[in-house]
Amino acid sequence: MICCSYCETENQENDKNCSFCGAELKRLRPKIREFVYLELCESPFKELELFHTYDLLVLLRLVRAERTKSYDLMRTVQKALEGVEIDQEPVEYSESQYRLYTARMKLIEGILIDRMGYKPKRVDDKLLESLRMRIASGSK
């Protein structure tokens, strides 16, 4: 017998879907990770959608911060071009980094919109702590 991770109904081992609720029996449910780091934003969509909502919020916070740094670098390099002639390589690099983090940010925000119905304007410690407390109280 295999137990459904959603409704906890027992099903036959060879069943693909729960006989009660129809959920996939072998589908992995997201668990909060111990560490979330910026490089995880490079994961493909199929992997990102398996992340816990809390982890996606932390990752969104990291990506937004990195995007801001990239934007500041891009603007600094562009302003430097006005008075001095420099190589185009730093300009292209800073612009590509900004576009990359913008695309990653929009991808993560899209997943969060699907789950939560909105994307948070700010992901601060208060929001994360509130969510962590709700998760902790709901798992007891």
Q: What does the pLDDT read at residue 81?
A: 66
Q: How many domains does the chain have?
A: 2
Q: What does the pLDDT read at residue 30?
A: 85
Q: What pLDDT digit, counting tens, does each position of 8-44 carry?
A: 888 888 888 998 998 888 887 888 888 999 999 999 9
Are 1 and 44 found together in one domain? Answer: no
Decide: pTM greater than 0.85.
no
Report the distance separating Cα 106 and Cα 64, nearest Å.
Answer: 10
Q: What does the pLDDT read at residue 140?
A: 47
CA distances from 53 to 77, 94, 99 (A): 36, 30, 24
Q: What pLDDT digit, counting tens, does each position of 44-101 carry?
A: 999 999 999 999 999 999 999 999 999 998 888 777 766 676 677 877 888 899 999 9
- Percentage of the chain beyond pLDDT 90 is 54
Are 100 and 127 found together in one domain? Answer: yes
Report the distance separating Cα 115 and Cα 68, nearest Å.
Answer: 25
- Residue 80 CA to its chain's centroid (Å): 34
Are 10 and 39 found together in one domain? Answer: no
Taking the CA atoms of 83, 84, 90 and 93 in sequence, report the sign of the dihedral they define.
positive
Q: What does the pLDDT read at residue 27?
A: 80
Domain span at residue 7? 1-30
